[in-house]
Chain A
Amino acid sequence: MDPMFLAYSYFRRRRFEDCATACGKLLEKNPYDQAAWALKMRALTEQVYVDEVENDEEGIAEMLMDDNVIASVSRPGTSLNTPATAQGPTSQAVRPVSQSGRPLSGVVRPGTQSGRPGTMEQALRTPRTAHTARPVTSASGRFVRLGTASMLSNPDGPFINLARLNFSKYASQQNVAKALFEYIFHHENDVKNALELAAMATQASQFKDWWWKVQLGKCYYRLGLFRDAEKQFRSALQQQETVDTISYLCKVYIRLDQPITTIDVFKRGLETFPGDTHLNTGIARIYEGLGDLNNAVKYYKEVLQNDNTNVEAIACLGTNHFYTDQPEIALRYYRRLLQMGVYNAELYNNLGLCCFYAQQYDMTLTCFERALSMASDELMADIWVNIAHVALGIGDTSLAYQVLKLALASNNDHAEAYNNLGVLEMNWSHIDQAKSCFLSAMQNGPHLFEPHYNFATLSEKIGDLQSSYKGVKKSLDIFPEHIDSKKLLEKLQEHFSML
């Protein structure tokens, strides 16, 4: 059998290792076999290919030295950085927020957990846990790892020596250039060279090939030149609208912190591609980030209309139902996920909580048991905290106390656990312990208002009005609509005016 045909057949069946070895043998015989060369390139690329649309994580450097944001103090509802201003149906008291101050989402995506910090100290502290000492560093560790991983698979050194490649020659050969570009971009992770090639190639094609423009835009995006990227994507869209290009353009706008524009672009894309799941999901994510959950739910439902197996949409809808006091319906969504084959600790944890709130107590503990048996260390703490919550719900405070201690044993930085432990200690009149718990909670969870409020209440009761005032102020900074904090503040102000 013709070895080239066999190599191609391996490639088609996604047996990339076999394909690369077969091509390697062909190249040994004839080093100038361009077809084998191109095929090997594509096989190597496919091994490490990651969809660029989803691949985004901001490092500290990008966040802190960000000068792309148009308005540093933006109006409420127009920026992803100043959320919690939208008077949505959910408040922080009902639906907790993530570290970035946005309401919790149903799924973890790149960038949902680390918010934009205000200062260097916060940036260095927040993403760091007891488990990872390093904060998310610049240019996203993921990119770097992709590059190095690819080197490992070739112990004899890189397949192509980029430094000695004649870019202008290949740029004019459209049939090789595209594969070569993807190889450089995805496998070698060398954005600079990829950009050079793309720039030459788009010139060689007389700026008529939208694909090259999209690639140029991708390179610019990676390099942080968002305005240039936007130009390229826009130009590509004029030639040919594709879902990918729209998604890339929206990514640029998200980075520029322009959620309204992003939604506009998505919606215009929906006119061309009605009902596209990716576009709908994109819109839903942004609404979720803005705290506009009504709209987010609407678009997630739209996603399910077109693709009823979409895990993200199901999970987010479940979350939303859970936090809008419909645990029974949330339970059904999560059950559907379980039936579809999602099998992990998070899901069982959520199922357990839903069961608890839906008063199906018999299933609650079983679910948590399963969740614990599967959980990783980091997750373990969250699950224990939820179990503690169940324990509080059934009035077993000593169980709750011990469970919270277990949560802290698995994650020493768990702010919620500290807070709840503090409340328990306060209940038992252990003032010192309660205080130190609240202090720990404040340090570890700067996004939580509860420890501040609890601390304020405690201080107020023992007569330390000054600390109480400070605490309640902070609590209101984080969550301006908190009624109890407001009441406490009024009470304190009365006290002060009496003095």
Chain B
Amino acid sequence: MSLFKVRDWWSTTAGGEEEFDQGCMCIANIDNDQHVSDKIITGSFAGILRIYSPKPEWREGGTSGAMPDDLLIEQQLGSHIIQVLAGKFVSVNEKSHLAVLQSRKVSVYEIIVTEGAVEHGNQYQLKLIYEHSLQRTAFCMCRGPFGGVSGKDFLCVQSMDGAVSMFEQETFVFSRFLPGFLLPGPICYVSRTDSFVLATSSWQLESYTYQNLAIATDAPKEESQKISSGKRVSATWSFNLGQAAIEMHVITFPSTPPSILVLGERNIFCLSDVGKLRFMHKLNYNPSCMVPYRTSSEGKVNYLVASHTKTLMVYEDTKLRWASQMNTVPVVIRTASFHRLRGGIVALDERGQLQICYLGTDPSLFVAPATESRDINYEQQDVEMRSLQKVIRASTKSTDFMVTTGEDDLELAAYVSDDLDSVSQAQNIDSQDGEPIPSISVKISIKCKSPIQSVLLSIHVLPPLAVTKSLFKFSAVVETTMIVGFYLSQPGVPADLNAKAVATYNTTSGAPRVVVQDITLPLQLVMKPVPPSRTAMYKITLDTNKAPANLNSIFPDLSGENSDGSGQAIGLQVYGNNQEKPVVTLLASRNAQRYRIQCDSWECMWLPIRDLMERLRAYYKQMHSKPPIQIWFSGNMPLQEYFAVVEDHFQVRLVRERHKQLLSERAAQFRAIQRRLLARFKDTTPAPLSNLDTLLEGTYHQILALSEACEETEKQLELTALNVASATKLLCTLIKLAHKMSDKEAGILEACLSSNVHDEQGWEESTDAVLTHMLRTCLSKSYKDLSQLAIPQLTIPTDTSKFRKHVTLLCDRLAKGGHLRIGTEDSETVVTASEGEVTDDGSSLEVPAGSKFGERKAGKKLAGEQEFGVSPEQLPPVVNKGKALTSLSPLPEGGTTLSNGTNGTGAETELTVDAE
């Protein structure tokens, strides 16, 4: 990241598909030109040597760039070139020669210039002076006046397996193994101390004097490259870098103290030439290469570092002086002086992109990509805005979220087959006595006008009923049918024989749509005919205005062979249970116009009664009898029986609460013991566990036992909840029949006495709250009620006495002529009723729409507020806005990516990924 980018002075591509690495470029006045202008020498892994002499012209707005005649020599040298190096490698003169290192060979060349005719320029030729073949694979080489000779350069070649071989020009001197060698690293010659400095694979910098290396032989035998062992040489000094070195340079500029600059993988070190740290600098990027350069500033080390984030940094000691962007990641950079550019930066990347550049204040201004802009038609937009605002206002005003839909593209239909399946499809049943559970097939068909993508069909049914497959996915559908089976999967009597098929899809315009189809299952799915029993605990008698019909003709599917021929009695029993399951007996009176339902279990009677009523109405409607049949209930309201069922449920709830409390206590105890144990184990001085482990195990077992008990209770709770639901429906129906309520009133009653027995929110207290509200409002007799009937807290009560009292009171009031009336004259009732319908559990009645707080507190607070009776007009002016609003949090996220700077290594890179 930087503000500037380097300016291009000259650039070319050295080779096409060739590879270059660290040693593959050097800068020298290799043709010994009188104008001391540097040449660039490159050698690729493909074995091609090139020499460039860039001489671009300055022009308006830049330079002329690379010309074909800038390339002096291009020659294939056989095998791969690992390193090129310039130096005084020939004994007869002090001219610059070129040393080329290949895997098994090091050769020295001279560049011969032949003055050509004026127009053709000079001719350059490569002339081999001498070469040494190498016994070991070479890694790199360095040059220097080893042994302190003057005016000459010798070569030292480091091999891949840790031997250094010395060549004093045409003669081979000796080879030595370096101790503790594994992987090679950069090597340098320090002339002041006449020693070699190299970075080893134990991540240290070690220095060996030339003399030490030379005399470290066992016997005065002939020196050869074919050594396999040698005396251990010892380092004169070593410095622990703690990381691998990438590049190393010896600084011998007159203005700076002699030092060794090491580019590590994560730091830059500068050491004096006797191995003392002068400074180090931690990098927050991955460096690729560096080079020191000469300046006039006294005592400071100046160097350039290139990073893998394509940035070139100029440092003076540890201070970053300049940073600018590059186009590539260079593998080697150098500084060089050319005819028209002194101190140019030469960079070579691994693909052979060769560039000479200079630092300029050319800003690399980041230009953000243009956002999607369009011409705005203001009039149109105003119209659109107005219409949208209308929609918003409408939607915020009314609590109804009904969206008027057009015709559905998708039609859903369900056909319940007439008979039970011959082979039951029931799965996973915990039936106790092996009695087969029947199932019934339902054919669900989907029909679309046009193909619709990704339709999801789900089938909901409340337990204990179950469906064989509840979810269907269609990637595209036009018309399809599937057959599913419904069956009783758990013991218990269902409160409802309805199921729902729901299809969800997106229309072609992208709007989500839901289509619902109700499925009504027949009674015979859950009940089977048995011989009627004459005696029973509970009896309900229903009066009609017609002579009793033949039950056999009303229940043709359930009469079975057990019924008596007269059709006056039918026995029914729920499937899937042991024989003690009570028998529901339907009796038609012989002479009076009444029917009797009797059973030993209260909750089992609901389904037969419902079915009986429905079938009777259908039967007489079919017969076209006038007047239409009327059914009523004239007996006493069987509240005690109902309360017994509720009490059962409530007791189970209490047990569950107790279990939960115990469980949380045990869990807390478990954590406490764990903590103590942890403290014990963490302690540096071991202490006895003092039976904490036994305690831990004991608690663990307790927790297991408790959670099993909890599960058991949950099951029981489900069962009793079903019973309560059945019983509630029965009660509602009886109340409705007894008081000849209209459907509207009955609807309100059913909303109040909800048969939706929830687990999360206690049914007793929520229903109680609704009842209280009803009693306070539309069933209230006097204002005394308001004070006497406090809105109950929505917490689990200690017993059901209040609930019973309120139900009794409700029945009394209704019996005395009370009406559950919804009218505009009473605003409070309106609110209650509408909300009672919207949310089918009573507890969230008073929570404002849109709030997250479907919790008890909110309800209470608002109730309290009602009592204060503050009218909106008295409201206070707003809190001091500037202080009350906290929204000034513009910056917390400032840095998920901000913080990761230029580097590619740090932890923060990880962060970015994480955040994205």
A contacts, CB < 8 Å to B: 1-2, 4-5, 8-9, 12-14, 34-35, 38-39, 42, 46, 49-56, 65, 67, 93, 95-96, 98, 104-110, 113, 142, 174-179, 209-211, 214, 240, 242-244, 273-278, 305-312, 315, 319, 322-323, 336-347, 349-350, 353, 369-370, 373, 376, 379, 382, 385-386, 388-389, 392, 402, 412, 416-417, 419-420, 423, 426-427, 429-433, 435-436, 439-440, 448, 450, 453-454, 457-458, 461-464, 484
Q: Which of A179, A315, A341, A420 contacts B886 (CB 8 A)?
A: A420
Set of chain A residues within 8 Å of B413, measured between Cβ atoms: none
Which of B13-49 touch A at CB < 8 Å? 19, 21-22, 45
B906 contacts partner chain A, Cβ-Cβ < 8 Å: yes
Dominant secondary structure at the B interface: loop
Contact: A312 with B907, CB < 8 Å? no
Contact: A108 with B899, CB < 8 Å? yes
0/1 string, B323-360, CB within 8 A of A gives 1:
10000000100000000000000000010000000000
Set of chain A residues within 8 Å of B319, measured between Cβ atoms: 275, 305-307
Contact: A108 with B893, CB < 8 Å? yes
Contact: A416 with B893, CB < 8 Å? no
Which of B116-137 touch A at CB < 8 Å? 137
Contact: B895 with A242, CB < 8 Å? no
Which of B288-321 touch A at CB < 8 Å? 288, 308, 318-320
* A14 nearest CB neighbor, chain B only: B308
Q: Which of B1, B45, B139 contacts A342 (CB 8 A)?
A: B1
When chains A and B are docked, how far (Å) is the Cα of A3 from the Cα of B889?
Answer: 56
Contact: B350 with A13, CB < 8 Å? yes
Contact: A276 with B880, CB < 8 Å? no
* B239 nearest CB neighbor, chain A only: A240
Set of chain B residues within 8 Å of A376, measured between Cβ atoms: 915-916
Which of B150-167 touch A at CB < 8 Å? 160-161
Set of chain A residues within 8 Å of B916, measured between Cβ atoms: 376
Contact: B886 with A448, CB < 8 Å? yes
When chains A and B are docked, how far (Å) is the Cα of A13 from the Cα of B242?
Answer: 20
Contact: A463 with B870, CB < 8 Å? yes
Set of chain A residues within 8 Å of B686, measured between Cβ atoms: none
Given A5-B139, A376-B916, A104 and B183 contact (CB-CB distance below 8 Å): no
B contacts, CB < 8 Å to A: 1-3, 19, 21-22, 45, 79-80, 82, 103, 137, 139, 160-161, 180-184, 200-203, 240, 242, 244, 246, 265-267, 277, 279-282, 284, 286, 288, 308, 318-320, 323, 331, 350, 363-366, 368, 371-372, 392, 675, 678-679, 682, 847-848, 850-853, 857-858, 861-862, 864-865, 868, 870, 872-873, 875-876, 878-881, 883-902, 905-911, 914-916
Nearest-neighbour CB distance to chain A for B574, whole angstroms, equals 41
**Ranked 8 nearest A-B pairs via Cβ:** A107-B895, A461-B876, A54-B907, A55-B907, A174-B202, A107-B899, A436-B851, A175-B182
Contact: B888 with A96, CB < 8 Å? yes
When chains A and B are docked, how far (Å) is the Cα of A219 from the Cα of B792?
Answer: 59
Set of chain B residues within 8 Å of A336, measured between Cβ atoms: 3
When chains A and B are docked, how far (Å) is the Cα of A93 from the Cα of B63?
Answer: 58
Please give 6 more A-B residue pairs, beta carbons under 8 A apart, in addition to A175-B202, A462-B875.
Answer: A50-B905, A242-B280, A274-B318, A311-B895, A385-B889, A440-B852
Contact: A461 with B242, CB < 8 Å? no
Contact: A440 with B881, CB < 8 Å? no
Given A276-B282, A309-B320, A433-B848, A346 and B3 contact (CB-CB distance below 8 Å): no
When chains A and B are docked, how far (Å) is the Cα of A13 from the Cα of B308?
Answer: 9
Contact: A464 with B868, CB < 8 Å? yes
When chains A and B are docked, how far (Å) is the Cα of A449 from the Cα of B44?
Answer: 67
When chains A and B are docked, how far (Å) is the Cα of A209 from the Cα of B910?
Answer: 30
Nearest-neighbour CB distance to chain A for B485, whole angstroms, equals 36
Contact: B137 with A109, CB < 8 Å? no
When chains A and B are docked, how far (Å) is the Cα of A242 from the Cα of B240?
Answer: 11
Set of chain B residues within 8 Å of A420, measured between Cβ atoms: 885-887
Q: Which of A1, A337, A436 contacts B103 (CB 8 A)?
A: A1
When chains A and B are docked, how far (Å) is the Cα of A339 from the Cα of B323?
Answer: 13
Set of chain B residues within 8 Å of A275, measured between Cβ atoms: 318-319
When chains A and B are docked, how far (Å) is the Cα of A463 from the Cα of B867?
Answer: 11
Contact: A337 with B368, CB < 8 Å? no
Q: Which of A277, A373, A440 contacts B853 (CB 8 A)?
A: A440
Set of chain B residues within 8 Å of A308, measured between Cβ atoms: 320, 323
Contact: A454 with B868, CB < 8 Å? no
Contact: B80 with A431, CB < 8 Å? no
Contact: B886 with A419, CB < 8 Å? yes
Nearest-neighbour CB distance to chain A for B181, whole angstroms, equals 7
Given A175-B181, A306-B318, A214 and B678 contact (CB-CB distance below 8 Å): no
Contact: A419 with B885, CB < 8 Å? yes
Nearest-neighbour CB distance to chain B for A458, whole angstroms, equals 8
When chains A and B are docked, how far (Å) is the Cα of A344 from the Cα of B202?
Answer: 42
Contact: B368 with A343, CB < 8 Å? yes
When chains A and B are docked, how far (Å) is the Cα of A365 from the Cα of B865?
Answer: 41
Given A175-B202, A433-B848, A426 and B875 contact (CB-CB distance below 8 Å): yes
Set of chain A residues within 8 Å of B350, measured between Cβ atoms: 13
Nearest-neighbour CB distance to chain A for B395, whole angstroms, equals 11
When chains A and B are docked, how far (Å) is the Cα of A319 from the Cα of B887?
Answer: 15
Contact: B894 with A315, CB < 8 Å? yes
Q: Which of A310, A385, A402, A439 contacts B887 (CB 8 A)?
A: A385
Contact: A369 with B82, CB < 8 Å? no
Contact: B850 with A433, CB < 8 Å? yes
Contact: A339 with B3, CB < 8 Å? yes
Q: Which of B200, B852, B890 contacts A386 (CB 8 A)?
A: B890
* B102 nearest CB neighbor, chain A only: A1
When chains A and B are docked, how far (Å) is the Cα of A73 from the Cα of B160?
Answer: 60
Contact: B267 with A110, CB < 8 Å? no
When chains A and B are docked, how far (Å) is the Cα of A309 from the Cα of B900?
Answer: 12
Contact: A450 with B884, CB < 8 Å? yes
Given A5-B103, A464-B864, A104 and B892 contact (CB-CB distance below 8 Å): yes
Set of chain B residues within 8 Å of A392, measured between Cβ atoms: 881, 885
Nearest-neighbour CB distance to chain B for A101, whole angstroms, equals 13
* B682 nearest CB neighbor, chain A only: A67
Set of chain B residues within 8 Å of A450, measured between Cβ atoms: 883-886
Set of chain B residues within 8 Å of A416, measured between Cβ atoms: 885-887, 889
Set of chain B residues within 8 Å of A244, measured between Cβ atoms: 242, 266-267, 282
Contact: A346 with B894, CB < 8 Å? yes
Set of chain B residues within 8 Å of A431, measured between Cβ atoms: 865, 870, 872, 875
Nearest-neighbour CB distance to chain A for B771, whole angstroms, equals 24
When chains A and B are docked, how far (Å) is the Cα of A436 from the Cα of B854?
Answer: 10
Contact: B896 with A108, CB < 8 Å? yes
